Every structure is written in structure tokens, then in C-alpha cells.
């Protein structure tokens, strides 16, 4: 019988390489995690104002006259106000399809597209704490001007923002739509960086399960069946965990960025009907 003798020094070398690779990965993830989460696109305010005008949107300014997003034209007395929180890439005006979809339903909507700090023409750097604080300020200002309930839409990363706001302003939120949502950002990170202890390292949490646990109103879930960024099972798990009135629609074969947002798609009407029923 032939005996093969392994070189202990060779084994140690492989282990050392693995340790160095893992250590490097840990350092990169810890120091660059926000760059791995947020992909803002910036543009001068004048450029965005021109683009907004071409799609029928107006600037949304705070009480301090700061540009904090975009809004549809006023719909008059009794209008229902809806605020959209976008995903981690691009900027708010890229989500004008949400305004088009809800306005096409003819239910008297006023749609607001909220912009994150560090995105579009808005100064600052994106972070979970900064986005949540800015979004809460915007909602508080809207409610101070008119206490009628607000409706929230959160897309991808924005689903974490909308979930947080639903829990914080729970008595003043009439309904929520979560598009390609997740249970927590840590769970999403675990899907992409499973070899690293991301739950211990991640500073940005966006825990939607915990946030929605503080809300009891109607929540609609729109899930992409073949989502390659936020696996569909995370959206389904969030749906299963929610204890309030809920409605789920899954688009088979849709990827993270290929959902059907055509204003004529039936799900728009189904979402608004679900909200009205509750």
C-alpha cells in the first residue's frame, strides 16, 4: 500500500491564506458597508427641476425651503396623500412610475416622492439613522399641515424606511405598500456575504419585522418571484410575520428590477381596494 505523506507546512500555508482572505473580507465589509448598501445618483437641482416638469411633478420643499423630494399636482380637498420611499440606487425622480400608477386609478391621490440625504440634489451622506430622521421630519411636517392619514410605499431599501415610519406614526398611517421587501437588511446581507458574520458587523439594520410589529393597519406586499437581489422568500417571511390586515401579490418570473409597473396593471387597483376595505 502506498502511503501519502502530507506536508504540514503546506496545510498551514493554506490555512494562513484562508485567514488572511477572511480577515480582509471582514475589514472591507466593516469599513465599506455603506458603500456596499447605498448607490446614490446625484444631479444639480436645476437639472432635476427640468426633468420633473417634463413628467408633471413639482418640487416638494420643507418648511425651511429645502428640496426634499417631488410631488404631484394638488388634487384638491379630500385628496389622499401617499409618500414613496425608493430603493438604494438612483434618486427619487426615477420612481415617477409610482405617481403614474396611483394617479391613473382616479381616486384623488396626491403622490410625494421622498428624497434621501445624499441622493439627487439633496446634500448629506446616506445612512439608516439619517434617512429615518429625515423621513420622519418630512412626515411630521405633512401631518402638521393636515392630520388626515398618510399612505406609504416602500421599494426595496425603502420598504425598511416605510416599515419604520408605519411603526412610528402608526395612528396616522392609513395603509402601506411594500415592494420587493425584506425581513431585515442583515438577512439580505447574509444572502450575499454568507461567509462573513454580517449580523455582528452590520451597522445598518432596517429591521422590518420589528418595525411592522408596532403597526396594525393594512399592509400590501408586492414580491418579485425571481428576485436576484432580495430573495422572494424574505418578502414572504415578512408577510407571514405581519399580524395585521395583509394582502400579497407575487409576480412570477419577475426580477428585482423587472416588476410590471404599467399603470394599467391590475395590482394597482387591488392595492387601493384592499386599503379601502380596511
| Whether 8 and 74 share a structural domain | no
- From 58, 72, 96, 48, select the one nearest 263 (Cα to Cα): 96
pLDDT, tens digit, for every residue of 211-263?
Answer: 999 999 999 999 999 999 999 999 999 999 999 999 999 999 999 999 999 99
| Whether 33 and 128 share a structural domain | no
pLDDT, tens digit, for every residue of 149-186?
Answer: 999 999 999 999 999 999 999 999 999 999 999 999 99
- From 133, 140, 232, 141, select the one nearest 181 (Cα to Cα): 232
**Which comes out higher in pLDDT, residue 72 or 26?**
72
| Whether 147 and 25 share a structural domain | no
Q: Give the three cell numbers for residue 196.
A: 462573513
Share of the chain above pLDDT 90, in %: 79
| Whether 128 and 266 share a structural domain | yes
| Whether 44 and 28 share a structural domain | no
- From 193, 190, 251, select the one nearest 226 (Cα to Cα): 251
Domain count, the chain: 2
pLDDT, tens digit, for every residue of 202-213?
Answer: 889 999 999 999
**Mean per-residue pLDDT of the chain:** 91
| Whether 8 and 72 share a structural domain | no
pLDDT value of residue 29: 52
| Whether 51 and 96 share a structural domain | yes
Q: Give the three cell numbers for residue 18.
A: 484562508
The answer, yes or no, to whether residue 6 has pLDDT greater than 50, is no
Q: How many CA atoms lie within 13 A of 38 on its CB side?
A: 21
pLDDT value of residue 30: 54
Q: How far from chain centre, in Å, is Cα 215?
A: 17
The answer, yes or no, to whether residue 17 has pLDDT greater than 60, is no
| Whether 105 and 203 share a structural domain | yes
| Whether 113 and 31 share a structural domain | no
pLDDT value of residue 220: 99
| Whether 184 and 54 share a structural domain | yes
CATH number for the domain that contains residue 44: 3.40.50.1820
For residues 73-82, give the mean pLDDT. Answer: 91
| Whether 111 and 178 share a structural domain | yes
Q: pTM of this prediction?
A: 0.89
pLDDT value of residue 41: 98
Q: How far apart are the two ends of the chain, measured CA to CA in Å?
A: 77
Q: Is the dihedral of CA 227, 159, 94, 222 positive or negative?
A: positive
pLDDT value of residue 77: 82
Domain ranges, residue 261: 40-277
pLDDT value of residue 38: 96
pLDDT value of residue 28: 52
| Whether 235 and 179 share a structural domain | yes
pLDDT band at 201 (very low <50, low <70, confident <90, very high): confident
Amino acid at each position: 500500500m502506498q502511503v501519502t505523506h502530507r506536508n504540514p507546512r503546506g496545510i498551514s500555508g493554506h490555512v494562513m491564506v484562508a485567514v488572511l482572505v477572511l480577515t480582509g473580507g471582514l475589514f472591507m465589509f466593516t469599513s465599506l458597508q455603506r458603500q456596499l448598501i447605498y448607490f446614490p445618483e446625484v444631479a444639480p437641482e436645476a437639472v432635476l427641476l427640468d426633468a420633473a416638469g417634463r413628467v408633471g411633478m413639482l418640487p416638494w420643499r420643507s418648511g425651511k425651503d429645502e428640496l426634499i423630494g417631488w410631488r404631484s399636482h394638488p388634487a384638491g380637498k379630500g385628496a389622499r396623500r401617499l409618500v414613496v420611499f425608493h430603493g438604494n440606487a438612483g434618486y427619487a425622480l426615477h420612481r415617477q412610475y409610482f405617481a403614474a400608477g396611483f394617479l391613473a386609478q382616479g381616486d384623488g391621490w396626491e403622490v410625494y416622492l421622498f428624497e434621501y440625504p445624499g441622493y439627487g440634489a439633496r446634500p448629506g451622506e446616506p445612512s439608516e439613522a439619517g434617512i429615518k430622521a429625515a423621513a420622519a421630519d418630512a412626515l411630521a411636517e405633512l401631518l402638521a399641515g393636515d392630520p388626515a392619514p398618510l399612505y406609504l410605499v416602500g421599494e426595496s431599501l425603502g420598504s425598511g424606511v416605510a416599515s419604520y415610519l408605519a411603526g412610528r406614526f402608526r395612528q396616522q398611517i392609513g395603509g402601506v405598500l411594500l415592494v420587493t421587501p425584506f425581513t431585515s437588511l442583515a438577512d439580505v446581507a447574509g444572502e450575499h456575504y454568507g461567509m462573513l458574520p454580517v449580523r455582528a458587523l452590520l451597522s445598518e439594520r432596517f429591521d422590518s419585522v420589528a418595525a411592522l410589529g408596532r403597526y396594525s393597519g393594512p399592509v400590501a406586499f408586492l414580491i418579485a418571484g425571481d428576485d436576484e437581489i432580495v430573495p422572494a422568500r424574505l418578502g414572504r417571511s415578512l408577510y407571514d410575520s405581519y399580524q395585521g390586515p395583509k394582502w400579497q401579490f407575487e409576480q412570477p418570473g419577475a426580477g428585482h428590477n423587472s416588476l410590471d409597473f404599467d399603470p394599467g396593471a391590475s395590482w394597482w387597483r387591488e392595492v387601493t381596494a384592499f386599503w379601502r376595505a380596511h
